[in-house]
Amino acid sequence: MNDLSAAFALAARLVFGLDPELVEVVLLSFYVSVFAVALATAVGLPLGAAVGMFRFPGRRVVVVMLNALMGLPPVVVGLVVYMLLSRSGPLGELGLLFTPTAMIIAQFILVVPIVAALTRQTVADLHEEYDEHLRSLDAGRLDSIATLLWDGRFRLMTAVLAGFGRAIAEVGAVLIVGGNILHHTRVMTTTIALETSKGNLALALALGLVLIVLAAGVNATATLIGDVAHRRYA
């Protein structure tokens, strides 16, 4: 009990004292996840929109795959990216293994299906509702997609937030491809895993608190966006 309260006290001091090691880890976490989510959005948004809007052979298969890939196990993604980037792997010459870039790649792979699948659902729902009106206006494809994306903007923001929530809290993939190297590839989740096993509960707890606040913040923002959207656009 004493240990625990001491750990809490120390954790609080680390957080509110902006301990340099803690700050470094938090900043790297943000750098990796924000970068990964931005890239995943750039790819997943148009991909999801296209699948949601256009009919083509094999569309159902793509939809099922996108939805299934949302539940991709992070450790497996880590393993695959590891094998691709390892010295003997096809991309080994790039020397990316155990770098933040490798972690971005892994998280990108985890987040793309989330953004794409949620975008597809949003766009498909809106398309069904708007289709006759857009055709009546003689709207072209670009105009139609732009209309659907803009009118689905609140739900799309939620999709991106969901992707960010997954990325920032994920541990398996970044641990494998990042290696949890001090001052180099150590992010919040991997540090928690390491420090806990080393018995350094204070730092682990401090990072845990930051993560929880972050996760709660992401969720609260998503809920807020949903509320605003509902109030304004029923």
- At which residue do the structure tokens 């608190």 appear? 209
Give me 83's structure tokens.
Answer: 């094998």
What is d(CA 48, CA 53) in angstroms, rounded to the nearest whole number? 8
Nearer to other proteins, 3 or 143 (CB): 143
- At which residue do the structure tokens 């605003």 appear? 228
Q: How far is the CB of 159 from other proteins (least distance, A)?
A: 16
Considering only the stretches 11-19, 22-30, 36-44, 144-152, report the one whose residues sit in contact with other proteins under the rule CB under 8 A. 144-152
Considering only the stretches 19-27, 41-49, 74-82, 127-135, report the one whose residues sit in contact with other proteins under the rule CB under 8 A. 127-135
Q: How far is the CB of 144 from other proteins (least distance, A)?
A: 9
- Whole-angstrom CA distances from 128 to 137, 148, 214 are 15, 10, 35
Angle at 152 between CA 229 and CA 54, to 5 degrees: 160
Q: How far is the CB of 54 from other proteins (least distance, A)?
A: 18
Among residues 42, 64, 129, 227, the one that binds other proteins under rule CB under 8 A? 129
Secondary structure letter of residue 40 according to DSSP: H
Among residues 2, 16, 56, 132, the one that binds other proteins under rule CB under 8 A? 132
Nearer to other proteins, 61 or 142 (CB): 142
Nearer to other proteins, 13 or 133 (CB): 133
Residue 78 amino acid letter: G
> Cβ–Cβ contacts within 10 Å for residue 65, how many?
14
* Buried-exposed string 67-104: b where 16+ CB fall within 10 A, e elsewhere: eebbebebeebbbbbbbbbeeebeeeeeebbbbbbbbb
Backbone dihedral region of 95: left (phi > 0), alpha (psi from -120 to 50 degrees) or beta? left
233 touches other proteins (CB under 8 A): yes
Q: How far is the CB of 67 from other proteins (least distance, A)?
A: 25
Binding map of other proteins across residues 82-121, x = CB under 8 A, - = no contact: ----------------------------------------
Among residues 4, 137, 182, 220, the one that binds other proteins under rule CB under 8 A? 137
Do 195 and 201 form a contact (C-beta atoms < 8 A)?
A: yes
Binding residues (CB under 8 A) for other proteins: these are: 129-130, 132-139, 143, 147, 150-152, 229, 232-234
